Amino acid sequence: MQPAPVLSIAAAVTLVAIAVGAAACASAPSTGAPKEVVERGKALYEANCRSCHGGASGGALRDIPPPHNNNGHTWHHADQLLIDIVLNGVSIPNYEWKMPRFKDTLTEADAQAIIAHIKSWWTADQRAFQATATAQYGT
């Protein structure tokens, strides 16, 4: 039989390990994509998107172009629409900015990886809303 202090220390170590594991899960939100895809998306975002859209804290010019973080509106759109915007760009009549197309430099898989990275900035509720929008797109 082990003395009571040893059991208490073992229990405390176990609780700390559980808490650290839970915190790690909370700090790395699930985007539905494998980690390596999200990491590749991060590198592609840094190289192609960050200079205009900014990082997790938002864009360089208020809302033009729109930030992709949880304060933006990107999470309102289905994956298919976001991929189309990345590859084909956006030009809104009577609007001062235009997003260039990237289909000559990025593949559809690249666009999907970028979107997977962006999703890591959203809340769980925003990711759930966006997953529903993606599932219902075109129906």
pLDDT digits (tens, 9 = 90+) for 20-54: 444 444 434 577 899 999 999 999 999 999 988 88
Is residue 18 predicted with pLDDT exceeding 50? no
Whole-number pLDDT of residue 47 = 97
Tell me: do 36 and 2 sit in the same domain: no
Whole-number pLDDT of residue 138 = 77
Whole-number pLDDT of residue 89 = 96
In total, how many domains does the chain have? 2
Contacts of 118 (CB under 8 A, 6+ apart): 41, 45, 68, 74
Q: Which residue has the higher pLDDT, 57 or 106?
A: 106
Tell me: do 24 and 90 sit in the same domain: no
Tell me: do 37 and 98 sit in the same domain: yes
Q: What's the token pair of residue 110?
A: 């690249």
Tell me: do 18 and 74 sit in the same domain: no
Tell me: do 42 and 15 sit in the same domain: no
DSSP codes joined into one string, 75-117: GGS-HHHHHHHHHH-EE-TT-S-EEPP-TTT--HHHHHHHHHH
Tell me: do 36 and 26 sit in the same domain: no
Quote the domain boundaries for residue 19.
Answer: 1-30
Whole-number pLDDT of residue 139 = 65
Tell me: do 70 and 131 sit in the same domain: yes
Tell me: do 80 and 121 sit in the same domain: yes
What would the pLDDT profile of 53-90 be if each residue is shown by its tens digit?
888 877 655 566 778 888 888 999 999 999 999 999 99
Tell me: do 22 and 36 sit in the same domain: no
Whole-number pLDDT of residue 59 = 62
Tell me: do 21 and 65 sit in the same domain: no
Helix (H, G, I), strand (E, B) or coil at 59: coil
